[in-house]
Amino acid sequence: MAEALLLLGGAVAGFAMVGFVAYGSLARVLSPPPRQVRVWAALHLLSAGVCVLLVYGVTLVVRAWFRWPLVGFTATAAYLLILGVQFRLAASARVECAPEPEHRAR
């Protein structure tokens, strides 16, 4: 149980660090603009795959108790940072999406 709480603490610290770096404060209100996103954009294979490799590396190198918060921090921070870069690149591509056809209820 203690290891799970250490992992959670590291994950929260990673989220807070990325939020602070990105927005300069943890108190900022986030309200994204309305946008259309394709379902395939939810498949975060690159960010999840990199996180798995990074966490694997951490577990090979670090054997002490602080490996648990370090794994949580590494996985969360890397995931959010890579995902942010992916979203920034996707937004700069400005690909026009055709609207989906409306489905009628039968």
**Tens digits of pLDDT across the chain (106 residues):** 788 888 888 999 998 988 888 888 888 777 776 766 666 666 778 888 899 999 999 999 999 988 999 999 999 999 999 888 887 877 776 655 556 666 665 5
Contacts of 3 (CB under 8 A, 6+ apart): 68
H helix intervals, the chain:
2-23, 45-61, 67-93
**Cα 36 from Cα 101, distance rounded (Å):** 14
Structure tokens, 5: 């709480």
Task: Say how far residue 48 (Cα) sits from the centre of its chain.
Answer: 8
- Amino acid making up residue 78: A
Contacts of 4 (CB under 8 A, 6+ apart): 68
Report in angstroms the alpha-carbon separations of 24 from 14, 84, 86. Answer: 15, 16, 21
Residue of 72, 87, 88, 98 whose CA lies nearest to 10? 72
Q: Is the pTM of this model over 0.75?
A: no
- Amino acid making up residue 36: Q
